[in-house]
Amino acid sequence: MVNAVALREKLIREAEPDLSWQEVAVLLESKDKELEEAFFMRAKAIRDKFIGKKAYFRGLVEMSNICAKNCLYCGIRADNAEPHRYKMSFQEVMDACQFAYERGYGSVVLQSGEISSVAFINEITDLLTAIQQKFDGRLRVTLSCGEQSEETYQRWYDAGAHRYLLRIETSDPEFYRAIHPNDRHHDFEERVNCLRLLRKVGYQVGSGIMIGLPGQNYAAVARDLMFLKEMDVDMVGMGPYIEHEETPLWERRDQLWPLRERLAAGIKAVAALRILMKDINIAAATALQAIDPKGREQALDVGANVIMPNLTPIEYRKDYSLYENKPCTDEDRGMCSVCLEGRVKSIGLEVARDQWGDSIHYHDRQKKS
Ligand code: SF4
């Protein structure tokens, strides 16, 4: 049984406290303002010490909403006839990268639905090669293109991708089956195995979870955070679950946490993970802003250090509808960039320009091995 008073004292007294999953669960759920104050103060101090008072920009390019999978929570799942399916052209992706480069972002995230065809694999390889040639290695690339074979991961790594984001969504195999179709294309062990393959190939490995899914509780979220620590990930993108009407999980909306609780838990999860994993990169998820206009600032204020301006051309944004009320779907990249810079500065952080913003955690592990 965790004593909240003792936990608060520990957060005040210890510069780098070691937290159990039970303590994390209490921190996520507690509404005690004094405990919350000590919790956020400690997370922020750790971010400032290990990362600095700065935020890295990653230009997000949602290359395509075509996906072969059917995750029960996702608005662009293959069986959803609603969104218009699109694929950005080679030149459109290169233009987005050029914009990121000129703005001094130092890094882009190329994201798409999950496709494993030879044509798709070749297209991504060609894009990576072109980005390497054009920017001479000065633009770091994170890929987020789902589960692939080791050979494909290796090929993309060799072509210039050095970071890969593959969210696990939940660390509980049983719960994973409850939010995915039960077939071989949606297999928990396979997803975990992909995280291991990515590490083996040499990527900076990113993962993440959803918070506030129907049927989830605070203890489960706390264990998910411990899973990310056990997997020793280098970067994390996680945020509150937001329902989408055109998905099977919509039927379970009566079991949802209130939106404000999902927001609060999403922010507290960032703070808890910062205490658990001091030198990783943690993104302030866009989904936080879907609930509260200042959701991303709140995450940056308690330990996040990455923010992702959307560089997807406006005509495609509404069709990359992973969840409802996704913010910033009608702002062009220039507006998005200025808006996010203002958000970062408003909470006293510096925008780190012309830097890759690699995970310190990754480089430290490389040095030790
Ligand atoms: S969550 Fe990813 S893999 Fe699943 S349906 Fe959506 S885009 Fe496809």
**Which residues are paired to 351 by β-bridges?**
55
How many angstroms is it from 67 CA to the middle of ligand 1?
6
Nearest-atom number in ligand 1 for the CA of 322 is: 6
Average pLDDT over residues 347-360: 92
Mean pLDDT of 201-224: 97
CA of 73 to the centre of ligand 1 (A): 8
Nearest ligand 1 atom to alpha carbon 74: 6
Pocket test for ligand 1, best of 76, 110, 180, 187 (most atoms within 8 A of CB): 76
Check whether 28 has a pLDDT greater than 80: yes
> What pLDDT score was predicted for residue 203?
98
**How far is ligand 1, taken at its centre, from the CA of residue 174, in Å?**
19
Q: Where are the alpha helices (DSSP H) in 3-162?
A: 4-13, 21-29, 33-50, 90-102, 118-135, 150-159
Question: Residue range 305-323: average pLDDT?
Answer: 88
Ligand 1 mean position to 243 CA, how many Å? 14
The radius of gyration of the chain from alpha carbons, rounded to an integer in Å, stands at 19
Residue 319 binned pLDDT confidence (cut-offs 50, 70, 90): confident
Q: What is the pLDDT of residue 244?
A: 94
Q: Are strands 163-165 and 204-207 parallel, antiparallel or unpaired?
A: parallel
Kindly tell me the sign of the dihedral angle through the C-alpha atoms of 148, 71, 94, 89: positive
Residue among 71, 72, 82, 320 to mutate when testing ligand 1 (max atoms within 8 A of CB): 71
Give distance in angstroms: CA of 70 to centre of ligand 1: 6
Mean pLDDT of the chain: 94
Q: Does residue 84 register a pLDDT over 90?
A: yes
Among the residue ranges 66-70, 91-95, 327-331, the one predicted with the least confidence is: 327-331
Q: Which residue's CA is the closest to the ligand 1 atom numbered 2?
A: 113
Task: Give the per-residue pLDDT at 133.
Answer: 97
Residue-level pLDDT at 51: 96
Looking at the chain, the whole-number percentage of residues with pLDDT higher than 70 is: 98
Question: What confidence category does residue 334 fall into, taking pLDDT thresholds of 50, 70 and 90?
Answer: confident
| DSSP sequence for 206-263 | EE-BEES-TT--HHHHHHHHHHHHHTT-SEE--EE----TTSGGGGGGGGPPPHHHHH
156-181 tens-digit pLDDT: 999 999 999 999 999 999 999 999 99
Identify the band that residue 354 occupies on the pLDDT scale cut at 50, 70 and 90.
Answer: confident
pLDDT for 330: 63
Structure confidence at residue 72 (pLDDT):
97
